[in-house]
Structure 1
């Protein structure tokens, strides 16, 4: 191996090599030596707990976003297609990706884009699925080209400022959608109040039980191994417990998991899309909306992967941005040919996947106590088994249908709040309601004036609100562009903050900061 072929020791996976497929080759050299250990490290009870938790979470995501996709596409792409795409794409990603801890799935922004594309096709009297197929083929091709031209180096310009806004947005979407779905029964005309009340109890109960069991590790009860087992299987136990509660009320009719009874397309069409069923000009014109779709998929994938590979997660096997993007591009092409929803890194699921595989310690910061990740069991077994179980969900249909949707929405609620927990945007927003004498002694509070901390938070919340408003507007197609515009906004903030202030608020914690927190943790345990 020549000097040029070696991967830099401190390579963060976002280096521009200047060589064709240079970043991709670096990803392969970085990750291939760990491929066997990815399977060996998956043989652990913690992986089993993570698998059960995320299986239900990813299945709920497929059901929810599959149903929503069916609504915005007139039933041409629905729940069964979303389940097939999630299962097949997730299995391929677990086997081939550079960072297998990242989980793929349908996302709100992609559903919005798909709905707008369907509306455009209706207005132009064009068949939706062939147009969708061509847009996806172009987008998949663009993603492959981006992967072999080191395009992920652009993520160097996306700092934690953008990551925190994006993660908060996705978490808020989960929380809002869960709350809307659970409270819908109280607002609809002619609704069953008993069913609505029981649904509310099940959703809140699932959230509270999952949260309590997850934190059981840090209680003094029972042996530590037992506490670890309860904590790891907490979300799955919460689903089982609240499903059991629902079965105690057989006379109350609850909405069950919307799983299809047969593996057939929602509309009854053939699986393969007839791509020739459009005028020739459409085949080339589809490259226009494909550029917007590519921006959305590129940013969604890479921002989520950046969050997974954050230094605070203590991952040791390295990232694989370009390899991940190549696999997503191939999945996008395959999904487009068969009229399946495009899937990409699902931020909330990926972050909860990492947390479910993590060993943590309790750290004291001033008047506050929080958890810090010590290590993560990096493996390919849990992501593979999660999606194998999703593929096999049709075979255990009677059991899956016993789970009320309210329980799955409670799981959404838990995941949304779990994602916000540890997001510094949320932590800094809470400072507005915290006694100043009880501010935690974090690295930025020790070095940045209080008014500058609040100004930074206000700007981030402004970006979050702008993304939310655009997402829900008729101009939602431009959503990915606004995400990209957060980068120049962050660069412009140099006029309001010094370099030292921005480094403290937006940079990774230094070794000195981490050592300070460990000293605080030692004081706590002493």
Structure 2
């Protein structure tokens, strides 16, 4: 595994050097991004359900019943607090904003603490298993550092294959994650540093391999929620429009446009806190967390955030890919997401009309719709097809 991650690192560097984002992600539409976002929430919700099932098998009935209350309660409280901005005149504006933006965190902390109150403390709660010393969890290992140079040469070259698979998985995970948290509704102004991010991801992947720990990718579930918490509305001075006729005499009115507070502090603090809490003695704090899947259940709350607008075909495709993740072919599910790109551009136009597709879908990384051009893939040959309803003929326009 160490050599697989080392190979994956130099592959990440190549992707960054040649700025692969610009010539791969330009064909991704909201169709693929929406499916990936929805699939992520479903996967984590399923993991939470499996954790509840294990709790039922291993714990007494009273402990299992409380686990159910805690899991559902975590979700409902998070959803309730997310609406705090509408509680005016209750509390002040700052308090309402804080409750709304930190709804998930507040809910989790609340239901982590409740089992320690009163008679609930006497229940047999399942909690996270944590380390009390800074050492590998595998008892056969004494140090983190892997002696990767002792592997036979033939295995060094064979490990390129799983390294390539890991690279594809991480690259697509990262790219879609970045796209989802910078969609138009957030009004992001500063462009994303995709190449720099991929280079950094390659470096951390190699370090994980050398240290013998699982490689860490971006925190995809938190990405849209993080952007959502940073979103605010400002007056766009460039879009001052006349008042409607029925309001004639009332002067002009301005449009409110979404923006996010584009900064690095909250990202850094989140990463720093993760590093702190995976180290003794702070791991003991994590050991207080019940194992009824509070993190997974909160993904139901994540679905309440408008990450995507799932339509029937997206839901069906998502369910199909989720079914694959339950089989031995699960590691290949990102490849299925990638395949959705040519399916969307070459197949769906034969099922749905051009105007329908133009209404429900658009490019994820650039302005416009695939249906605005007859040839949407240029030299790559992706064809949108269909007749243009507006001019009654075929429309062809170069990219």
Q: For each residue in 1:96-155, what CA deviation from the matched residue of structure 2 results, as whole angstroms up to 9, or x when unmatched? A: xxxxxxxxxxxxxxxxxxxxxxxxxxxxxxxxxxxx011111111111101111211201
Contact 1:302 1:321 (8 Å CA) reproduced: yes
Report the Cα offset of residue 236 of structure 1: 3.0
Match among 93, 101, 105 for residue 236 of structure 1: 105
Contact 2:38 2:308 (8 Å CA) reproduced: no
Q: Distance in 2 between matches of 1:360 and 1:250?
A: 44
TM-score (norm 1): 0.60
Q: Distance in 2 between matches of 1:231 and 1:424?
A: 20
Residues 1:472 and 1:411: Cα distance change in structure 2 (over 3 Å): closer
Match among 180, 196, 199 for residue 64 of structure 2: 196
Paired residue for 1:246? 115
Q: For each residue in 1:273-296, what CA deviation from the matched residue of structure 2 results, as whole angstroms up to 9, or x when unmatched? A: 111332211111111222222111
**1:64-463 correspondence runs (5 A):** 132-153=1-22, 154-186=24-56, 188=57, 191-220=59-88, 221-248=90-117, 249-268=120-139, 269=141, 270-359=143-232, 374-393=258-277, 394-406=280-292, 409-419=293-303, 421-426=305-310, 428=311, 457-458=312-313, 460-463=314-317
Report the Cα offset of residue 157 of structure 1: 1.1
Contact 1:207 1:411 (8 Å CA) reproduced: no
Contact 1:171 1:419 (8 Å CA) reproduced: yes
Residues 1:486 and 1:420: Cα distance change in structure 2 (over 3 Å): farther
| SS in structure 2 of the partner of residue 265 of structure 1 | coil
Contact 2:130 2:284 (8 Å CA) reproduced: no
Residues 1:398 and 1:293: Cα distance change in structure 2 (over 3 Å): closer
Report the Cα offset of residue 165 of structure 1: 0.7
Contact 1:136 1:336 (8 Å CA) reproduced: yes
When the two chains are superposed, the root-mean-square deviation of aligned CA atoms in Å is: 2.4
| SS in structure 1 of the partner of residue 82 of structure 2 | helix
**1:468-479 correspondence runs (5 A):** 468-479=322-333
Q: For each residue in 1:455-478, what CA deviation from the matched residue of structure 2 results, as whole angstroms up to 9, or x when unmatched? A: xx32x2332133212222222343
Q: Distance in 2 between matches of 1:332 and 1:373?
A: 38
Q: Distance in 1 between matches of 2:319 and 2:77?
A: 31
Equivalences, count: 336
TM-score (norm 2): 0.78
Contact 1:205 1:410 (8 Å CA) reproduced: no
Q: For each residue in 1:153-195, what CA deviation from the matched residue of structure 2 results, as whole angstroms up to 9, or x when unmatched? A: 2011111110011111111011111122124333x2x631111
Report the Cα offset of residue 222 of structure 1: 2.5
Residues 1:169 and 1:480: Cα distance change in structure 2 (over 3 Å): same
Residues 1:373 and 1:290: Cα distance change in structure 2 (over 3 Å): farther
Paired residue for 1:490? 344
Q: Which runs of 5+ in 2 are unaligned?
A: 235-255, 368-399
